[in-house]
Amino acid sequence: MRISELVERTGVPLATLKFYLREGMLMPGAALTATRSEYGEEHVRRVALIRALSDVAGLPLQRVKTVLGLIDSPTGSLFESLGSAVAALPPYADDVADGEPEPTDPEYPRAHAAITALGQVYDPRFAAVAQLERALAAVETAGIPMTADRLDAYGAHVRAMAEFDLARMPEGGREEQLGYAVLGTALYEPVIAALRRLAHQDIAARQLSEDPA
C-alpha cells in the first residue's frame, strides 16, 4: 500500500507518519522509486503499537522509542528485555516529585521485606522494586502501612493474575512477546484498578443495603 493508504488504514495523519519515519519509530517502506515506497501490514501493526503506547498508555515519545528499540534490537535474555521494557512504563523510578528526597538506599528495605515475605525473587535492578519501595513508603507515611495479612492477600491474587498473563504469552518472535508484555502491563493496570474499585463499591453497597436483623 502507498503511504496515503497507510494514513487511511491507521487514521494517523500523514505528517505524524512522516515524523515516526524520521525518528526511526516506524520502519521504512520498500522503495519502489526515488519518491515512492510500499508499506505492508507490519507497518499497520507498528503504527497501532506506537499509538497504543503513546495515546492509551500515555508514554512520552522518548519512552516509546526506548520500548521500540528493545523490541527491534533486544539485548540479553527475554527476561532481561522484559525488565528493561517494563522500566520504560510509568511510574518511573527515577522521577522525584518536588520536595521529595532523592532515593539513597539501593537496597530498598521495605520492598525487600515485602518481596521476601511473599517468597519471590528480590532483584533491586528490576524497576518495579523501586516502584514498590516508593509505594510502600507512601502508605506508611499516610498512616496505613502494609500489614502482613494485606500483603498475603494482595500478593496471592496479583500472582494469580501474573500467572494467567504469562501462561498466555505468544509463542511467536520476541517482538510479539515484548509487545504483549508491555502493552498488557500498560493497558491492563487501569482495568485492574477500576475492577478493584468496583468490587469495593459492590461489597459496600450490599453490606449497607442489608436490613438490620
Q: What tens digit of pLDDT does each residue of 26-62 get?
A: 999 998 887 789 999 999 999 998 998 888 777 888 8
Greater confidence, 71 or 7? 7
Among residues 76, 49, 74, 79, the alpha carbon closest in space to that of 64 is found at: 49
Among 12-26, 75-89, 115-129, where is mean pLDDT lowest? 75-89
For residue 89, the model assigns a pLDDT of 76
Positive or negative torsion for Cα 120, 122, 128, 130: positive
Say whether 104 sits in a helix, a strand or coil.
coil
* pLDDT, averaged across the chain: 84
Say whether 100 sits in a helix, a strand or coil.
coil
What residues contact residue 99 under an 8 Å CB cut-off, 6+ apart?
none
For residue 96, the model assigns a pLDDT of 46
pTM, two decimals, is 0.70
- Phi and psi torsions of 143, nearest 5°: 90, 10
For residue 66, the model assigns a pLDDT of 82
What residues contact residue 197 under an 8 Å CB cut-off, 6+ apart?
none
Burial (CB count within 10 angstroms: exposed 0-12, middle 13-18, buried 19+), residue 125: exposed
The string of DSSP codes covering 146-175 is PPHHHHHHHHHHHHHHHHHHHHT--SS-HH
What residues contact residue 135 under an 8 Å CB cut-off, 6+ apart?
none
Per-range mean pLDDT, top range of 82-96, 156-170, 180-194: 156-170
Burial (CB count within 10 angstroms: exposed 0-12, middle 13-18, buried 19+), residue 85: buried
Among residues 74, 76, 130, 75, the alpha carbon closest in space to that of 102 is found at: 130
